[in-house]
Amino acid sequence: MNISVKLLQESTRVKGDITGEIDAFTAPILREKLAEINVTENLYIELNLKDVSYMDSTGLGVFVGFYKSVNASNGHLELTGLSSRLKRLFDITGLGEIMDIRTASEEVKIDETV
């Protein structure tokens, strides 16, 4: 069970890469790392989950809490690179309709049109 969270904050943008598994053991690490972000008004946050191999409901809880925090500050959270399995987890809970989420296959389509 391992997780790596790399964040780069510049002015009103944050880019992050999350790698590994998000479960009951690693979710607190993710929560702590996300809490290090200085959430300010109109902050745009993009978290790339393309290298997340597994996530359970604890991970969903971390993202929901963080989404609420960002949303309360009129910021924007985008989760990118999700596998179809991770996207399905968000969709089953209804979060896929609320949060800005792009799967890895959607990103490929966007890149091909550019």
Environment class of 97 (CB within 10 Å of its CB; exposed 0-12, middle 13-18, buried 19+): exposed
Asked whether residue 108 carries a pLDDT value surpassing 70, the answer given is no
Name residues whose C-beta falls within 8 Å of residue 56's C-beta, 6 or more positions apart in sequence. 22, 23, 24
Q: Give the rounded percent of residues in the chain with a pLDDT score beyond 90.
A: 87
Range of the domain at 104: 3-113
Which CATH number do you get for residue 70?
3.30.750.24
Which pTM does this prediction carry?
Answer: 0.90
How many domains would you assign to the chain?
Answer: 1
pLDDT tens figures, 44-95:
999 999 999 999 999 999 999 999 999 999 999 999 999 999 999 999 999 9
Q: What is the pLDDT of residue 104?
A: 80
